[in-house]
Amino acid sequence: NVSREMLQEHNTLNAIRRQLTRKVLKQLADIASERPDDYTKVWDNFGAVLKEGLHTDGSHHDELMGLLRFRSTNSDGKLISLADYVAGMPEGQDAIYYITGESQEAVARSPHLEACLARGYQVLFLTDPIDEWVVQDLPKYKDKPLRSVTQGDLDIPEKPEDKPDDSKTDIGPALAVGRALLGEKVKDVRASKRLRESASCLVDDEGGLSRNMERILKAARQNVPTRQRILELNPEHP
């Protein structure tokens, strides 16, 4: 009478598991390096599983980070690695920017991208449900922190020639009216540093539960309280 648990926890099987994992990760790294078109097919079929591994298997964190691929605002539908992203960062950029959402089409239209696009900063599209957990396990890459463009006060400095005249963009009275009208429907109403063309957007607190994560948890029938969001108004919008 041999239990399944006895076999699963056997030292020999543990050694086989470790060897198989190392071999598979090495093979995937070789395909990604030598045959990127083939790796795109692998990623499109199994990328979500590899990202799940990043969340569940800390012993292979570095190897899995090297295998991660993303589409982005600059990639024209092609996959890029985190190493590609960092290598292409313009001077002055100090973070890796990303946006999570339900689909690539939806996030590509988001007004939250505007400040990054204006400065030529690439934004990664994270549209798999597992991505919300991945970013929790990937706070930085090569000393570059990962930052969501939909959370917190995204302060990306303007180019000197594009800096607005503060005397013409003081919307303090409008913000006060917005707070009075909306009351507890929002957490705050503030001037936006991320918008360049759109009139307004809603953002989440820094480090808080994102609206996309709320959507995923509710779809899984989890009891998630709706959180107040912050309304940002574009001071330069007519």
pLDDT exceeds 60 at position 147: yes
The pLDDT score that the predictor gives to residue 231 is 96
What value does the mean pLDDT of the chain take? Answer: 89
Confidence label for 211 from pLDDT (cuts 50, 70 and 90): confident
The pLDDT score that the predictor gives to residue 58 is 79
Confidence label for 1 from pLDDT (cuts 50, 70 and 90): low
List Cα–Cα distances, 91 to 17, 158, 208, 210, in angstroms.
43, 13, 29, 29
Phi (first) and psi of residue 172, to 5 degrees: -50, -50
Confidence label for 164 from pLDDT (cuts 50, 70 and 90): low
Confidence label for 163 from pLDDT (cuts 50, 70 and 90): low
CA distance 146 to 72: 14
pLDDT exceeds 60 at position 160: no
pLDDT exceeds 90 at position 25: yes
Give the pair of three-digit tokens for residue 214: 């709320």
Average of per-residue pLDDT across 50-64: 88
Q: For the residues of the chain, what is the DSSP string, one character each?
A: ---HHHHHT-HHHHHHHHHHHHHHHHHHHHHHHH-HHHHHHHHHHHHHHHHHHHHH-GGGHHHHHHH--BEESSSTT--B-HHHHHHTPPTT--SEEEEE-S-HHHHHT-GGGHHHHHHT--EEEE-STTHHHHHHH-SEETTEEEEETTBS----PPPGGG---GGG---HHHHHHHHHHHGGGSSEEEE-SS-SSSSEEEEBPTTS--HHHHHHHHHTT---PPPP-EEEE-TT--
Average of per-residue pLDDT across 9-28: 90
82-124 tens-digit pLDDT: 999 999 999 889 999 999 999 999 999 999 999 999 999 999 9
The pLDDT score that the predictor gives to residue 162 is 57
CA distance 141 to 86: 9
The pLDDT score that the predictor gives to residue 148 is 93
pLDDT exceeds 80 at position 169: no
More confident residue, 2 or 18: 18
% residues pLDDT > 70 (the chain):
94
CA proximity to 111, closest of 166, 154, 172: 154
The pLDDT score that the predictor gives to residue 59 is 86
Residues 6+ apart with CB under 8 A from 58: none
| Lowest mean pLDDT segment, chosen from 18-22, 44-48, 67-71, 214-218 | 214-218
Residue 95 near residue 88, CB atoms below 8 Å: no
Average of per-residue pLDDT across 16-35: 94
170-190 tens-digit pLDDT: 899 999 999 999 999 999 999
The pLDDT score that the predictor gives to residue 181 is 96
Residue 175 near residue 189, CB atoms below 8 Å: yes
CA proximity to 72, closest of 83, 60, 85, 63: 85
